[in-house]
């Protein structure tokens, strides 16, 4: 299941205003119409909007923002280093835009608390299986064995460049667990973050 469908599954995309994510447009004084904003959409999707006092998170985001690697993903094409004040101002402006605005992805990247894949799934109510320990008590062995078997029977290729052993053995489940362990700590600036978010949710967690 694609990760964007997780929101529907969890009921996170229910209609309504959450966390100040709606403002009112007034085409006439007697006809106020609520307008859903990017802030509201992010909140419904269980992202945490960066607040004024989130100094450590702001600095981590700012460092990435000013990296040449992410130049094409900034709010502006302006050359030079962006200050923290400018970034906060851009976030404030963007978060107030209508939720369908094309700057949604940028707001998600630059205006919310950074989360690893494992942390993001936890926010969505999905727990990654244990990645240490080789028995049931310490390592979720039976759950890994079940997932490994399912992965094999469903084509053995759902995660790119990865296959489990052709037949199940006493420790063959560990191969899937170790592959999952490679990806759960990826931060949201990592290549293919959304791709591996989906795969970890599907093959490395307790998600039904």
- Render pLDDT for 36-77 as a digit per residue (tens, 0 to 9): 999 999 999 999 999 999 999 999 999 999 999 999 999 988
Cβ-count burial 123-135 (b if 16+ within 10 Å, e if not): ebebebbebeeee
pTM: 0.81
Q: What is the rounded average pLDDT of the residues 103-129? A: 97
Cα 10–chain centre separation: 14
The whole-number pLDDT of residue 17 equals 37
Start-to-end CA span in the chain (Å)? 11
The Cα 35–Cα 134 span in angstroms is: 52
- Render pLDDT for 136-190 as a digit per residue (tens, 0 to 9): 888 999 999 999 999 999 989 999 999 999 898 989 999 999 999 999 999 999 9
Average pLDDT, the chain: 88
For residues 185 and 204, the answer to whether their CB atoms sit within 8 Å is no
pLDDT at 14 over 50: no
The whole-number pLDDT of residue 25 equals 47
**Relative orientation angle of helices 55-65 and 84-95, to the nearest 10 degrees:** 100
Domain ranges of the chain: 4-114, 119-203
């Amino acid at each position: 299941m694609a990760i964007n469908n997780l929101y529907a599954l969890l009921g996170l995309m229910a209609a309504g205003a959450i966390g100040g994510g709606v403002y009112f447009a007034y085409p006439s004084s007697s006809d106020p119409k609520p307008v859903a904003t990017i802030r509201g959409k992010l909140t419904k999707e269980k992202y945490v909007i960066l607040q004024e006092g989130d100094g450590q998170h702001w600095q981590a985001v700012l460092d990435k923002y000013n990296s040449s690697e992410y130049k094409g993903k900034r709010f502006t094409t302006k050359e030079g280093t962006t200050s923290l004040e400018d970034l906060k101002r851009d976030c404030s402006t963007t978060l107030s835009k209508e939720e369908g605005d094309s700057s949604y992805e940028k707001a998600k990247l630059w205006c919310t608390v950074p989360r690893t894949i494992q942390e993001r799934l936890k926010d969505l109510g999905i727990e990654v299986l244990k990645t240490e320990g080789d028995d049931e008590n310490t390592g979720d062995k039976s759950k890994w064995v079940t997932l490994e078997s399912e992965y094999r029977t469903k084509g053995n290729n759902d995660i790119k460049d990865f296959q489990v052993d052709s037949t199940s053995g006493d420790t063959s489940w560990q191969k899937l667990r170790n592959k999952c362990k490679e990806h759960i700590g990826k931060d949201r600036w990592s290549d293919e973050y959304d791709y591996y978010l989906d795969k970890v949710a599907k093959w490395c967690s307790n998600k039904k």
